[in-house]
Structure 1
């Protein structure tokens, strides 16, 4: 039996990983700490170096979280008896959840090998749930495929970060407390509120930059990739100046910052704070905000997380705290100057039926619910145009179908389009020898096993994930043609990390390759993973010019509404 792989990480210590019998070319190092949480709702700190050899053969704990209704999460999540305190503490830990898993070609541990690209995965889950411990994200087969078949080996790092009430929670009470904390420095974003999850991700990316060379990885060839909230996170890192330079390439799967738009402590944050206080009976009007926070800090993390199980809490979001995030992301996402000028390439994509999973919470499930849905997404006076684009429902089934399409467009496709345009314009300002490559894709293949359940989800949100990682768990549910498609998807993601996908698929015709009104014959530049499990090329933009113009006007209407509400709040404050 071979000796377990060991790596001495300068400044940290020695870790001893494992190699799996199924993929002997790949070494895994699990539960490697990149930070420690010493105090709830405060920045994490770098971990203390360890002495001796640290066992990195088992999954580390994840952030405490409520149960997930997501079908893929349910299929691949860790099961644990919450009444078994010892078992629960191994799976969930507020203090020690900031760990990462490293999947590396075993030959790279030989220092004589050239350094290779690194892919850092940021999982989704609405900033509410998920972890790197999910079987879905086991990257052994992805790395093995990069070695044996593609011939361009990569290292994959999957990270945990703080979620829900622990990572994305704010309120005026919390802002006041943090701002008055003299232990925190105002110069390093330590006084940021409601963005601890994003700051955790930044620390993980900095850890990779500083230490991945010990595993044979090239810290100057890092691809950050994520899905949904993970993809939105990548977008935030691309557009927050203090986070620039953390990676050189990015893959954004079904999400941009405007998919998970940062909220305000006094509005969205206050609502979550009040909900949490009501849940724990802390709604005494005579109790100060500081007293409520002190009591909330003493509540066990398991109970805090469970407060999100009551069905009244949806997706958590980052916070406009005027420390890390300044201003409304829906406005500055269009600004080309905000994007990291050092990023070499960005790949953005969507799933064909993104909105289908969100109809129960955000859509119209019946004709009775349609007027409310329409008033939420259609500006006054635009009803006729809205109907011309999407149709008018005549049945409950119509209401479901149309609201699903609307949610796909407004939450995913239009933000992806807007980000693509801003990125292309940012690339126009670069030097000729340092161009920005942009790749677009569409994923149209539903999962066969989900289709057999007759849920009507189609190629739903996150459907591409099993194909990207091709873990043993998902291989068991794939049809033969899905197994073949998974290998094709892996090829494209791996080659992108090497800077090679863009040579074949990069947009080459400027903005006219994105804007539908200008796309002509021969400009088929998007990668399409088809329902028939093939890989083809098609037009980049699936939204019509008319649809894009509608949502652009809707953005203007939303902005005016926000500004009016802000003026009303200011008038009330002056009374």
Structure 2
């Protein structure tokens, strides 16, 4: 039996990991703390150094989160008996959930003499609607991804998967919480410490800073970091790209099924207040004889495992970041189009979608039947634009048509248009007046429905998150793949790995062609077939970059402005009401 891998992390301490049983070329260091939570609804603080040798052979705790009854969208860890306090604390812990799992090639361990050159790093930010998810999920086991980077592609990478605070712990806001934070003299003024409702995003920043400061101990190059994420993880990246204080923490980015405006930040006085009030009602704290400070103090005393149950009781869907005038200062639907807001140090960005993104959300966000159609239409179509909407999407005559059309609308408005808008702005950073650096932009489409899901006859198609099993290729999912899907998995992993290595089409002088792997010139207005597409037939081909035609793009551009104006009007109305 070979000895366990052990390294010294300067400034942190020594850690002993394990070698992957199925892939002996891969070493794993689990539950590496990057920060701790000193108090609920306060910024995390960087983890202290430890003495002795830390046992990094087992999964660390994750953020408390509600349960999901849907096995296809469940982002929770394995079930644990809540009455078994010791077992429960090993899985969920509010104070120590901010940890990293690190996967790296055995040959790149920075021990002894003859150290190999530092290699690219890939940092994963999981999705889950800012409500659930963790690095403990078998879906995100990066063992096979790292092994394939070594043995399949010959481009070894280090992969880091992070936890961050979620739901009420990471994304709750309200005027009461704003006052609570602003009155805390322990927090530095004019810094992100005064941010409210964005603690999860700040956790991610601290995790990326830890990677910058310490990943070289694992053989990773801190100046060659690719951050990749899906859904809320991709939205998170969208915010990091535009928050100046977060610039410089990564050089490349892969946004899967999302951008900042996929999950547009709300305001404490409106969306945030609704969540806060729901929490207070759940625990009987909504009476008028309690001040805001008293409500917060009592909510802080509620055990985390009880607090998170309010999300189940209140049928809470997703959480969103907050426009707090500190970290996020204005509506993302405005600045997402501004090239000057994006990190000027970026080298490459790849953005993409799944073909049937919206189908999974019809029951919660769409029109399940004709009865629900008028409300769905009013929520998505600006007044006076109904004929234009119908010309693009049609008008449902049956319940099935209502569900089908609303799925397409959700795909276009929540995913495809935000990805387009972000791509367009990034292209302008490359081609516009700020052309002081080189930025490559790539696009992809994932059109392959998982065969095992197809066999269930759920009608989800290439649904939201369908690409995730192919990104990591973990053993759990490899056993469920068809032979063709196993090959598709290799193709997708290779694309992601080569992107992290900077092996783009331009660097190889390949303007077109399958061998370039990534699109060369993604002309938004043109019809160039340069988006890499993972097809329904498990092949990899070039397809149209933009799947929305000019008319549809123009409609959602106008709808976006309408939504922004409507929200601003509601916000001003709340402000006026508060003054009365």
TM range (shorter): over 0.9
CA distance in 2, matches of 1:109, 1:126: 35
Q: Which residue, 170, 180, 183 being the options, matches 1:180?
A: 183
The whole-number CA distance in structure 1 between the counterparts of 2:461 and 2:366 is 16
Output aligned runs, 1:156-305, within 5 Å.
156-305=159-308
Q: Does 1:92 align with 2:92?
A: yes
Alignment of 1:511-550 (within 5 A): 513-515=523-525, 518-519=526-527, 523-550=528-555
Cα–Cα, structure 1 residues 302 and 341, in superposed 2: closer, same or farther, change >3 Å? same
Secondary structure (helix, strand or coil) at the match of 1:258 reads: helix
- Give 3-state SS (helix, strand or coil) of 2:456's partner: coil
Q: Which structure 2 segments of 5+ residues have no match?
A: 507-515
Asked if residue 65 in structure 1 is aligned to residue 75 in structure 2, the reply is no
Shift in alpha-carbon separation, 1:116–1:431, aligned structure 2, 3 A: farther
Deviation, structure 1 residue 46? 1.2
Indicate the residue corresponding to 1:104 in structure 2: 104
- Describe the shift of the 1:282–1:147 C-alpha distance in structure 2 as closer, same or farther (beyond 3 A): same
The separation in 2 between residues aligned to 1:563 and 1:284, in whole angstroms, is: 29
State the secondary structure of the residue aligned to 1:420: helix
* 2:355 matched residue in structure 1: 352
Say what the alpha-carbon RMSD is for the aligned residues: 1.4
**Equivalent runs, 1:378-397 vs 2, <5 Å:** 378-397=381-400
Contact 2:351 2:442 in 1 (8 A): yes
Going from structure 1 to structure 2, the CA distance change for 1:430 and 1:110 (only over 3 Å counts) comes to: farther
Q: Matched residue of 2:235: which SS? A: helix
In structure 2, the CA distance between the partners of 1:364 and 1:432, relative to structure 1 (3 Å rule), is closer
Q: Would you say 1:568 and 2:578 are equivalent positions?
A: no
93-102 vs 74-83, which moves further: 74-83
Q: Distance in 2 between matches of 1:168 and 1:574?
A: 26
> Residues of 2 paired with 1:500 and 1:326: CA distance?
36
| Aligned residues of 1:231 and 1:252 also touching (Cα < 8 A) | yes
Contact 2:26 2:105 in 1 (8 A): yes
Higher mean C-alpha deviation, range 499-508 or range 435-444: 499-508
Cα deviation code 1:323-349 (max 9, x no counterpart): 100010111111000000001000000
Distance in 2, Cα, partners of 1:442 & 1:509: 16
Cα deviation for residue 311 of structure 1 reads: 4.8
Counting matched residue pairs gives 568
2:372 paired with 1:369 = yes
Q: Does 1:450 align with 2:453?
A: yes
Task: Pick closer, same or farther for the CA change 1:92–1:238 going to 2, 3 Å.
Answer: same
What secondary structure does 2:545 align onto? coil
Quote the offset at 1:433 in angstroms: 7.8
Distance across 2 between alignment mates of 1:466 and 1:554: 34
Match of 1:7 in 2: 7
What SS does structure 1 have at the residue aligned with 2:51? coil
Deviation, 1:539, is 1.2
Going from structure 1 to structure 2, the CA distance change for 1:75 and 1:130 (only over 3 Å counts) comes to closer
- For 2:368 and 2:436, the matched residues in 1 are separated by 52
Q: Give the C-alpha shift of residue 557 in structure 1.
A: 1.7
Instruction: Work out whether 1:411 is the aligned partner of 2:414.
Output: yes
User: Any idea what the Cα deviations from partners look like across 1:120-139, whole Å, max 9, x if unmatched?
Assistant: 00000000000000000000
Task: Name the CA distance, whole Å, in 2 between partners of 1:549 and 1:432.
Answer: 27
SS in 1 for 2:299: helix
TM-score by length of 1: 0.97
Change (3 A) 1:502 1:81: farther
In the superposition, relative to structure 1, how do residues 433 and 282 fare at CA in structure 2: closer, same or farther (>3 Å)?
Answer: closer
Q: CA deviation at 1:562?
A: 2.6
How far off is 1:21 after superposition?
Answer: 2.4
What residue number does 2:509 align with?
none
The alignment's TM-score, normalised by the length of structure 2, stands at 0.96
Alignment match, 1:46: 46
Partner of 2:18: 18
Distance change in 2, residues 1:550/1:53 (3 Å) = same
- Taking structure 1 as reference, are residues 443 and 480 closer, same or farther at Cα in structure 2, changes over 3 Å only? same
- Equivalent-residue separation in structure 1 for 2:194 and 2:64 (angstroms): 23
Q: 1:260 to 1:250 in 2, by over 3 A?
A: same
Within 5 Å, give how 1:477-516 maps onto structure 2. Answer: 477-503=480-506, 504-509=516-521, 513-515=523-525
Residue 137, structure 1, aligned to residue 147, structure 2 = no
